[in-house]
Amino acid sequence: MDKEEQQARDMLTQHHPINPLLAIWALLWLLAMHTSEAAECRPVAKVLSVEGQVQVIRPQSTWAPVKVGDQLCQADTLRTGSKGRAALRMINETLVRMDRQTTLVFTRVHAKKKSLLDLLNGVIHAISRTPRSLNINTPFVNAAIEGTEFVIAAREAGSTITVLEGHIVARNYLGKTNITANQAATTLPDQAPEPAIHTNPNIAIRWAFYYPRILDSHNFNLDAAKAPEAIKSVMSLLESHQASAALTRLQDIPKAAQDAYYHILAAAINLRLGAINDADQHLHAAQSSSTQLAASYALHALVSVVQGQLPEAQTQIDAAKDLNPDSPVVKLANSYLSQAKFAIPQALALATQASERVPESPIAKARTAELLLMTGATQLARKSAYEAALLSPKSAEYQTVLGFASLQAHNLETAQQIFELAIQLDSSAPLPRLGKALVLIRQNHLKAGRESLESAVLLDPGNSLLRSYLGKAYTEERRIPLALEQFELAKQADPSDPTPWFYNAIVLQSLNQPVKALGQHLGAMQRNDNRGVYRSRQLLDQDAAARTVALGRVYHDLGFQQLAKSQAGNALQIDPGNSSAHRLLADSYLGQTNLEGSLQSELLQAQLLQPLNLMTSQPKLATSNQGIFDSAGPGSISFNEYNPMFIHNGWFGQLNASAGEQGNQADDIILSSLSDHLALSLNQHHSENPGLRENADFKNDLYSLFGQFALSGKTQLQFEIGHEKQEKGDVSQHFFPESMNDP
């Protein structure tokens, strides 16, 4: 509210007699101001995702539907219906996800100054990157945001604030309380806010989790339902990503026809809409029905997997298999459980069996393609995804797989187009936004890529991998505190995932804290077998080698050179094709006599095996670690391993120089370039030493040009042109130099 508006409001609220002309002027001023706001929209937020009914009303206007990409203006009111959710990004770097039946007013939003939102009712999950510049009012309590991630629920019975990370001050006219990470506070009508005794942040946010689909009209036979035609029309809407319309049509089915099929489909729809409590009720109703269907237990198992309750998921899968062990729905749900238990080959076998049993099921085909891509079988994954496309052209799942396959083949523009199409088909899906982020970052659009990663986290806040990669993006921007927060949240989301430990160690190493980095690396290696949740055993071995190499780097910085060499050897035993291991072993040979041939051999193997990156080759005496950690992760990309893609396209320069007494000096210069398919590196090295005696001088000059071109994700061409010139005398050391004859 500006100064002139406040003066007008003050004149209307004063209790002493008011000049009628002044009162009329004040009313006309306020009316003109709000009319101007309605006519001249000042954008304060952008809509990222829309599910179901989402509407906006502006001053002097009426409710209107909202779609993805719409701009919201100052003083707008946004609401979601009983079957709707929305996600948006505000101009002050705050992201908001709105649950069903939520009304939010953008009272005063600014990019730099303090902003104010009014949450009239409902639930929001917010990620704020501007601490102390945002307040959120609810009917019973006001929240002064001093942290980064939180959930606020405003109901008739009271308001609840849950903090995932950071700090919030909850206050009203009766008192206040401080809320920190993993804490909550509740405010009842006419009472001061009070801390909650038992707090589980996952319960407060589970409505925002992403639950993948396992049902379609082919793998779930609806012919035996009491209202088969009505049920089939509902399924058709669900398959075309119209969950809200599907639920509306489902509710038209008479109560007498609401059998187990009805409740299973209702549960699947409610999961898509984030109505977890309603989904649970329908699943229990289906399991209590006289007609026992394996699909109800399979769907229940999927919910448990997403929420990290693996023992309960196994119980539900066992019950489903007792009813129908050959059910494709059961096999698909079991594939997610196997994936969560790090058994990727078993998960792939189950999905393949489901696809073979119902070849016309696009969900089964897409799931098989997804798991094939996890194992690095890109061509087979692409084939299965195309088969899914023929069966269901509007499926976002198969588009996502095709996008990652194109990303692996370095077809960045194609990958970006496919990911954007997948987002259009399903704006609530997080993985297409992750893929788009990776493409943008590779194309040197770091800010846009990071924003896409933030959107992915907002759409699936329980996903550890998404948070790990968001943390790495913050690291690229040198926003280290935010990066460390994301790594900690990733560890909480999935304590068995080594990824946040690994990247946390990299950040600590870059901050020159090798001892702490060593602890994080050891934590990553202890959890390394757990990484099988994203990769097959073969790629898991490459993952182990990458972590061993990075651990060896830490040993090297701590002065444990022999241990560094040992770690490189261990990595090569696990995976002889790991380029980083050969690179580390070459580094360990630097400065050691009679190992020139071994050093050159390891450098050559590292170059032949390396993926495209900025540090394509190494000057002879380079000792800097810069560039090693840029690609310290696995060297191949599977569905959930994208570390090499965080290397940016563009130019890179590095200079090392040293000088000493008696004319000692050395320098090396690297100039590198990386584009989508081509990497070039121009290197120069010079060193000279006059020696400690006659004829002991040494001078070396080295020039090289190295190029690498990726024909595909599996095939590369390389070339190298080099020239080296040495001038030296008798530089060998002797115990009795006086016994040597002068030249």
187 lies in the same domain as 266? no
Q: How many residues are there in the chain?
A: 743
96 lies in the same domain as 170? yes
190 lies in the same domain as 237? no
198 lies in the same domain as 284? no
Cα 245 from Cα 269, distance rounded (Å):
10
| Residue 501 within a domain | no
Q: Which long-range contacts (CB under 8 A, 24 or more apart) does 384-393 make?
A: 384/355, 388/362, 391/360, 391/361, 391/362, 391/365, 392/216, 392/239, 392/362
Please say which residue of 308, 341, 374 terminates a domain. 341
| Residue 403 within a domain | no
pLDDT recorded at residue 633: 56
DSSP string, 271-317: HHHT-HHHHHHHHHHHHTSSS--HHHHHHHHHHHHHTT-HHHHHHHH
pLDDT recorded at residue 733: 60
| Residue 167 within a domain | yes
Cα–Cα distance list, 160 to 123, 153, 208 (Å): 9, 5, 16
644 lies in the same domain as 587? yes
Count, in order, helices (H) and strands (E) of the chain: 25, 22
Please say which residue of 325, 341, 357 terminates a domain. 341
| Residue 408 within a domain | no
Task: Find all residues with CB under 8 Å of 235, minimum gap 6, and list them.
Answer: 215, 216, 217, 220, 222, 246, 265
Cα 12 from Cα 637, distance rounded (Å):
65
Task: Find all residues with CB under 8 Å of 586, minimum gap 6, and list them.
Answer: 599, 602, 603, 606, 618
Cα 141 from Cα 193, distance rounded (Å):
7
| Inter-residue contact 549 to 580 (CB < 8 Å) | yes
| Residue 29 within a domain | yes
Cα 729 from Cα 743, distance rounded (Å):
10
How many domains is the chain partitioned into structurally?
A: 4
Residue 709 clears pLDDT 70, i.e. is over it: yes
170: CATH: 2.60.120.1440
Residue 16 is part of which domain span? 3-38
Hey, CA dihedral for 20, 21, 22, 28, is it positive or negative?
A: positive
27 lies in the same domain as 164? no
| Residue 495 within a domain | no
Please say which residue of 186, 208, 230 terminates a domain. 208
63 lies in the same domain as 146? yes
- Residue 39: band (very low, low, confident or very high) from pLDDT cuts 50, 70, 90: low
588 lies in the same domain as 714? yes
CA dihedral 476, 479, 485, 486 (to 10 degrees): -30
pLDDT recorded at residue 738: 60
Read off the DSSP letter of residue 641.
Answer: B
30 lies in the same domain as 54? no
- Residue 697: band (very low, low, confident or very high) from pLDDT cuts 50, 70, 90: confident
705 lies in the same domain as 573? yes
85 lies in the same domain as 51? yes
pLDDT digits (tens, 9 = 90+) for 551-604: 666 777 777 777 777 877 877 887 788 777 787 788 777 666 677 788 888 888
566 lies in the same domain as 680? yes
Q: Percent of the chain scored above 90 by pLDDT?
A: 46
pLDDT digits (tens, 9 = 90+) for 58-116: 988 899 999 999 999 999 999 999 989 999 999 999 999 999 999 999 999 998 889 99
| Residue 49 within a domain | yes
Residue 706, H or E segment:
strand 698-710
330: CATH: 1.25.40.10
| Residue 685 within a domain | yes
